[in-house]
Amino acid sequence: MTADQFGRLVEAASKHDPDLARNLAGLFDREPDWIVGYGKARPADVVAEQGSLIRQAIERSHASEHVFRDAGFHAFASGRDVRKLTGHGIRSKDAAFDPDKASSTNIFASLAGLRAAFGLPIGGDPADERGR
């Protein structure tokens, strides 16, 4: 786990469960504000080889999902399973893949045939239109 990731977790915990934030920062004998500042100043520093103990400590909190989401995590793995916290990155098993639309966030980007069947315009990605 990087200093950036840990700092974001401590910052999110400060909002939702201050005791948790103090406990996490206490692992390094520091205060939460110091941990957050260190994470911003030296984001790539590795502070823990594995984040499993930190994850377990956060999971015991009443606000665990809020802490993970506010820290920017979309999911976390427990070794065997992956727990999704947001819908980010979820894709239908039947979704078509169009390499030209690989970076698109438009979930309908590869449904041109369906659009045509219903008489809808077959334009490109609406996100592409915003940049014009």
Average the pLDDT over 102-120 and give the result: 60
- Domain spans, the chain: 3-84, 91-122
Average the pLDDT over 87-111 and give the result: 69
pLDDT, mean over the chain? 81
31-81 residue pLDDT tens: 999 999 999 999 999 999 888 888 888 988 999 889 999 999 887 776 777
70-97 residue pLDDT tens: 999 887 776 777 777 777 767 676 766 6
Is there a contact between 32 and 21 (Cβ–Cβ < 8 Å)?
Answer: yes
CA dihedral 55, 37, 48, 74 (to 10 degrees): 40
CA distance 49 to 28: 14
Q: pTM surpassing 0.85?
A: no
Is there a contact between 38 and 7 (Cβ–Cβ < 8 Å)?
Answer: yes
